[in-house]
Structure 1
Amino acid sequence: MSSADSQADAPQGAAAAPDTPADPAASGAAIDALYYGWLAGPATFDAPPETERQILDAVRQLAQNPSLAAELVPRIPELIPQLLRSLRDENVTTGELATQVAQDLVLVAEVLREANSAYYRPMTPIKTLDAAIMLLGQNGLRMLLARVAFRPVIRMHETGFARRAAPLVWNHSEKCAVAASLMAPGVTADIFEACLGGLMQDVGLIVAFRLADRVCPNGKVPASRDFGVELLARSRVLSEAIARHWEFPDNVAEAIARAGEADGAPLAQALAQGDRIAKLRLLIDAGKVEEDDALVMEGLNGFQRRCLGKLSSLE
């Protein structure tokens, strides 16, 4: 998504969003409970309280040892360093970017697929790399590279419940990254940093599910929604710890940890809004929430609801 696209879609300050939801914390907890129930699906059991405590304590302890936590997921690869350096240069031309992208055939296919997706809706099929990069813009290309780099981290080969959950969590990661980047201009946050936060915040959840697999039998997780809400909260703290260990920007790591706080910094606000919108999109698509549910109609303002609709075209 280009910076211009995001700026055009974004509300201009608070005056553009008079119907801001009154109690996002309460609706956020309700959405998290539904989201955990959807992730868990039928792979649940009535776990005794000590099992739930064991899992939650393991997640908390691992967040205090980020180097050990980071060993449980592959580090994000440095995807074409020359290209990433070029994307920081505002004077780089589309042709120069195309020449660098063309060195990786897999990346070429990803760029063309993205440009021709329903999200961008080109009038005619995009067939050349130059045209695709021009349509995506520099921010759109940076965000695509980030998604390509994160994909093997979230969707790695797993066993147990983590294997079942990984593609569902990755679906949320992609949608959250896009939604957070759309929310960023309206709260004066950086678009690309919002995308990075959206992709990074689920890494801790995958690690948490791996820990649960060590405790729970037969690839199942505790059925309790209260447990699920607490697990999601603690996994964000774990994501923050891993992000700092990977030397992510401090404000991105902090935004992940504070995304659920009403007084968070602009980046945390963008991430919290993107996370909520992405979860609702998944729950609506799964038939767990109706389009006219109060969580949508009262929990999101008008611009956020438009973003919710835009995510339906994200493949």
Structure 2
Amino acid sequence: MGSIWRRMFPRRKAKVTPRRTAAARPPAPASTAAAPATSHAATDAPSLAQIDERFHRLVLGLPPASQDEPQPVEAALLRRLELLGARFDLRSLPRLPTVLPQLLRTLKSDEAAGAELAKLVGRDPLMVGEVMRATSTVFYRSAQPIGSLQQAVVLLGQDGLRRVITQHVMKPILQGNTGSMGHAAGGRLWGHAERCAHACAWLGRTTGCDAFEAYLAGIVRHAGTGAVVRLLDQLMPGATPPPLSAAFVRHCARLAAQLSLQAARQWELPARVLGALAECQGEVSAASSPLGRALAVADSVASLSLLVESGELPADSELAHSWPGVMPPAVLARCQRDLGQHFTATLDNA
């Protein structure tokens, strides 16, 4: 199979064609003699298009692009991918606990009692185990042993319980990929999801978003990317991926975003989360919703974090000036620093 791909995709010298995005920085002026000192850092920063493409190549396990535009055989492959995507059965993704929608509605109420929450959690044995494990960690460990589910729920608090439940639900969905591409992709998708959720919640506080909706939006942002991994495994079973073009990767990213939104609708996620996911399929601007802006920026911050950890980009890469009109540079810089302080583990490239 590998030899077939080599004949179909002969190596060619890479040609870099930048892709324009709504959030891209304006071009540098013709003369930079009088430019301020901070312009050098902004000029050296990777573009949002580069970050997005490199992130998807990392997740999909694809080598660098041979060219920007797709070759004829790629067009045929894209048509098959689109057909498989249209027929993809979202029910094949790991199920969400049936108790989740009711639990999320209850958690939205500030008056929800610990006993009521414990009763709902208790209806799913796997969720019970996850909640009890969370309270045994150093972060939540109390002076007295936790002897009941209700005690554990009270110790976690509503915000802690929301996050524990969301991680319990989403981790197997994002890590549940199989095949030659899927094994490595699962760990990377989960690594991105944790960072994106954290960054989205952090940024959401500056834009007036509901903290849990922001966290939830971040963690489901690339749920559809796992589905695309499965589809590509069907199209290229056991083959060494060829150096597919940048346009091919962008098409995969668009399909993944569509599937993420479809999955979120099936899971009955909150309306503002659905709206933010829909906005992120297009160009996010200052006119977008607060959650849409926070999610788009958090996505790029999380992607950059993974790329730096994997050695794809330099450690001093920054995005402070990459979202003019969408997020203030100072806020974005603080978000990057906060993310770096919370996620220091080395990316597992296995």
Q: Shorter chain as normaliser: what TM range?
A: 0.7 to 0.9
Counterpart position of 1:262? 285
Equivalent residues in 2 for 1:161-176, closer than 5 Å: 161-176=181-196
| Contact 2:140/2:156, CA 8 A, preserved across alignment | no
Counterpart position of 1:191? 211
Closer, same or farther: CA 185–61 of 1 in aligned 2, 3 Å: farther
Counterpart position of 1:90? 110
Separation in structure 2 between the aligned mates of residue 197 and residue 55 of structure 1, nearest angstrom = 31
Q: Does 1:36 align with 2:56?
A: yes
- Cα deviation per residue 1:290-310 (whole Å; 9 max; x = unaligned)? 3322x3565563321232223
Equivalent residues in 2 for 1:207-218, closer than 5 Å: 207-218=227-238
- Cα deviation per residue 1:128-148 (whole Å; 9 max; x = unaligned)? 366754554312211221221
Q: Does 1:290 align with 2:308?
A: no
| Contact 2:62/2:242, CA 8 A, preserved across alignment | no
Separation in structure 1 between the aligned mates of residue 145 and residue 178 of structure 2, nearest angstrom = 36
Closer, same or farther: CA 80–237 of 1 in aligned 2, 3 Å: closer
Provide the secondary structure at the position in 1 that maps to 2:93: coil
Closer, same or farther: CA 217–269 of 1 in aligned 2, 3 Å: same
Separation in structure 2 between the aligned mates of residue 186 and residue 96 of structure 1, nearest angstrom = 32
Counterpart position of 2:336? 305
Equivalent residues in 2 for 1:79-118, closer than 5 Å: 79=99, 83-84=103-104, 86-94=106-114, 97-98=117-118, 101=121, 106-115=126-135
- Cα deviation per residue 1:46-95 (whole Å; 9 max; x = unaligned)? 797245334544555566x4x74414423422246765454233223446
Provide the secondary structure at the position in 2 that maps to 1:149: helix
| Contact 2:200/2:294, CA 8 A, preserved across alignment | yes
From 180, 186, 192, give the equivalent of 2:200: 180
Closer, same or farther: CA 36–82 of 1 in aligned 2, 3 Å: closer
RMSD in angstroms over aligned alpha carbons? Answer: 3.8
Identity of aligned residues (%): 29
Equivalent residues in 2 for 1:1-315, closer than 5 Å: 27-41=47-61, 49-58=71-80, 60-61=82-83, 65=86, 68-79=88-99, 83-84=103-104, 86-94=106-114, 97-98=117-118, 101=121, 106-115=126-135, 121=139, 127-128=145-146, 133-134=153-154, 136-224=156-244, 226=246, 227-259=248-280, 260-263=283-286, 264-293=288-317, 295-296=318-319, 298-299=321-322, 301-312=332-343
| Contact 1:117/1:314, CA 8 A, preserved across alignment | no
Counterpart position of 1:7? none
Provide the secondary structure at the position in 1 that maps to 2:47: helix
| Contact 2:121/2:127, CA 8 A, preserved across alignment | yes
| Contact 1:166/1:206, CA 8 A, preserved across alignment | yes
Separation in structure 2 between the aligned mates of residue 135 and residue 54 of structure 1, nearest angstrom = 55
TM-score (norm 2): 0.67
| Contact 1:198/1:271, CA 8 A, preserved across alignment | yes
Closer, same or farther: CA 297–49 of 1 in aligned 2, 3 Å: same
Separation in structure 2 between the aligned mates of residue 126 and residue 173 of structure 1, nearest angstrom = 33
Aligned length: 290
TM-score (norm 1): 0.74
- Cα deviation per residue 1:210-257 (whole Å; 9 max; x = unaligned)? 121222252544434613244223311221133234433343223113
Q: Give 1:272 shift.
A: 1.2
Q: Give 1:125 shift.
A: 7.3
Report which structure shows greater RCO (CA 8 Å, sep ≥6).
Answer: 1
Closer, same or farther: CA 176–82 of 1 in aligned 2, 3 Å: same
Q: Which runs of 5+ in 1 are unaligned?
A: 1-18
| Contact 1:55/1:211, CA 8 A, preserved across alignment | no
Separation in structure 2 between the aligned mates of residue 278 and residue 290 of structure 1, nearest angstrom = 15
| Contact 1:213/1:220, CA 8 A, preserved across alignment | no
